[in-house]
Structure 1
């Protein structure tokens, strides 16, 4: 199938981005690798003074027959050996490792070629890109990518759209730059397209329209909801209609699971006959339906390999990525050379198929953790219409929705204010020895001046509150114990 080029969205660039020039020093740094050039042009330390001579790493070996949590024995039968040397070229699957002399040097703001090559192939394999001039850019993770995105596209006083409850750090990053975060309602199936369209169709003409929709489509943080393919198609159409860019934040994309089955006897774990079957089972991404280059996708190794790698990537059109490169040359320079060498060395030995085996194994682990958590919630939470459990089909989080007006002292002690009930529950669960997080910590509540119509800010459930928990952070026995403590705290607080 022939695909066209992306559209030009430079009209959405911020004044800072329009004013930024490429660093002249960065335009010549690639000549440092040219053996015919005597390089006297930049302050690059001589690699012989890097104290690290080699890296040796062991990981489990695909297809991970003992499970992804099993430590490798060191034997070649179950162990992937990675040895990265300072100056020697070592083989890594179909390519070579990133030598430490290069990995630890300045340069390669886009990322090291050996890492980017793997990520490009992975992106095409998973998302089957629909325009020709796309590329990937290595980052230090999605939080940094988001802050860069705000600087690239937004001026002080601009407004962006986000799910009404969203990752709090993303809200705070925007607010710190003087950007309003206007909420779009969501339900158990994610952002509601009809509400998004109503907000944009009725946008106050006295204020600037938003440029960006920030969304976490899969295993949404904090609600745990996952957007259907049909909703994504509708949202993309709305973005085209209103010339919105979609910022797709997807750290939990590969933590997709089977639908929760309450009856244990009816549970049947999905087995994939092939890697193609696994890929076909995945939710449709915004980037996979994008024919214009209006989607910017943020991916990360944090949830699938390790947060401390501080390594992720952006997928976008080359026209847009050029603005990120210019910014990163002045800020992060490039992601850690150690992380790039280790991750690229491992993934290139695993190969695309081996990485998919890893992701399938991760899916299996999270499926079990989710089931244990939801089973415990149904066991230990009071049975009442005032409490509702939403079993997630992806991600790391579960939520318990609570009708605050069901509290016996809602109208008296708490003055009919749901946020006061929420605080009281939070105080109670902390005293009970468990931490679950109140939903209000994640609430976007920005507005414009002059403000948007009251209908655009209408809440779905004014008395509804919720608490977010995770099944990712503790062993299964502790998980059940924590949920039991949460249930006891709710019973005592509501006098169920």
Structure 2
């Protein structure tokens, strides 16, 4: 199939981006590797003074017959051995490994070739890109990618759109740069396209229209909801209609799982006959629908390998990635060389199929954790119309929706203010020895000046509050005990 190039969205760049020039020092750094050049042009320390001679790491070996949580024995039958040397002489991209003499040096702000080649192949395999000039850029993870995105596209006073409840750090990063975060309502199935379209169709013409929609489509943080493929198609159409860029933040994408079955006898974990069958089972991504370069996808190893790797990547058009590269050359320089050497060395030995085996193993683990959590919620949360459980089909989080107006003292002690009920519940559950966090910590409350129409700010349930918990952080017995304490605290607070 012949595909065309992306559109040019440079008209949406911030003033800072339009004014930024490429670093002239970075334009010649590739000559450092040329044996015919006596390189006196940059402050690159000699690699002989890097104290690390080699790195040796072990991981389980695909297909992970004993499960992804089993420690490798050290034997060749179940252990993947990675040894990265300092002074191994290889042309960039010609081997599985990134020698430390290169990974610990300046340069390669886009990312090391051995890392990029694996992730580029993975991206095409999973998402089947629909335009020709797409590419990837290595990052320090999605939090850093979001910070860069705000600088690249937003001026002070601009507005972005986001789910009404969204990752609090993303809200705070935007607000710190003087950017408004305007909420779009969501339900059990994620962001509501009809509300998004209504907000944009009725946007106050006296204010600048948003350039970006920030969304966490899969296993949304904090609600645990996941957008259906049909909703994504609608949202993409709306983005085209209003010349909006979609920023899909997808750290939980591969933590997809089977639909929850309340009756344990009806549960049957999905087994995949092939890697292709697994890939086809995954939800469509926004980037897989994109034919114009309108989607910027942020991916990360934080939830599938380890948060401390601080390694991820952005998928976007080459035109847009150029702006990220120019910024990164003057800010982060490049992601950690140690991380790139270790991750690339491991993944290039596992291969694409081995990495998919790992992700399938993650799915099995999170499927079990999710089932235990939701089982416990149905067992311990009081049966009452005041409480609504929405079993997630992806991610790390569960939420309990609570009708604050059902509290027996809502109108008296709490002055008919749901936020006061929410705070009281939070204090009660912490005193009961469990931590679940209130939705107020994740709520987007931004507006423009002059403001948007009242109808655009209308909430689905003005008296509703939510609490977020995770099934990822503790063993299963502690997970059940924590939810039990949560349920007892609610029973006492609501006098049930």
Q: CA deviation digits over 1:50-109, x for unaligned, max 9?
A: 000000000000000000000000000000000000012589998331000000000000
| Aligned equivalent of 2:182 | 182
1:186-335 to structure 2, matched below 5 A, reads 186-335=186-335
Match of 1:351 in 2: 351
Q: Counterparts in 2 of 1:346-385, with a 5 A limit?
A: 346-385=346-385
| Superposed structure 1 runs of 4+ greater than 4 Å apart | 89-94
Q: Distance in 1 between matches of 2:93 and 2:179?
A: 45
Aligned to 1:406: 406
* TM-score, length of structure 2 as denominator length: 0.99
**Equivalent residues in 2 for 1:151-170, closer than 5 Å:** 151-170=151-170
1:5, 1:132 within 8 Å by CA — same for their partners in 2?
A: yes
Q: Distance in 1 between matches of 2:237 and 2:88?
A: 51
For the 8 Å contact 2:165–2:223, the answer to whether it is kept is yes
Q: Which runs of 5+ in 2 are unaligned?
A: none
What count of residue pairs does the alignment treat as equivalent?
A: 496
Counterpart in the other structure of 1:142: 142
In the alignment, the residues of structure 1 paired with residue 167 and residue 30 of structure 2 have an alpha-carbon distance, to the nearest angstrom, of 38
Give the Cα separation in 2 of the matches to 1:206 and 1:159. Answer: 13
> Which secondary structure state, in structure 1, belongs to the residue aligned with residue 25 of structure 2?
helix
2:160 and 2:180 in contact (8 A); partners too: yes
Give the distance between the partners of 1:426 and 1:91, measured in 2 at CA: 56
Q: CA separation in 1, counterparts of 2:92 and 2:44?
A: 27
SS of aligned partner of 1:424 = helix
Residue 98 (structure 2) aligns with: 98
Distance 1:395 1:407 in 2: 30
Query: 2:92, 2:113 within 8 Å by CA — same for their partners in 1?
Result: no
Normalized against structure 1, the TM-score is what?
A: 0.99
Contact 1:246–1:295 (8 Å) recurs in 2: yes
Q: Please tell me the root mean square deviation across aligned C-alpha atoms, in Å.
A: 1.2
- C-alpha distance after superposition, 1:444-465 (max 9, x if no partner): 0100000000000000000100
Residue 478 of structure 2 is matched in structure 1 by 478
Query: What do residues 455-487 of structure 1 show as CA deviations (whole Å, max 9, x unaligned)?
Result: 000000001001000000000011001000000
Contiguous gaps of at least 5 residues in structure 1:
none
- Report how far residue 35 of structure 1 moved: 1.0
- SS for the counterpart of 1:246 is strand
Alpha carbons 1:93, 1:349 under 8 Å: kept: no
Matched, 1:14 2:10: no
Deviates more, 1:332-341 or 1:87-96: 87-96
CA distance in 1, matches of 2:90, 2:5: 37
Distance 1:296 1:90 in 2: 33
SS in 2 for 1:213: strand
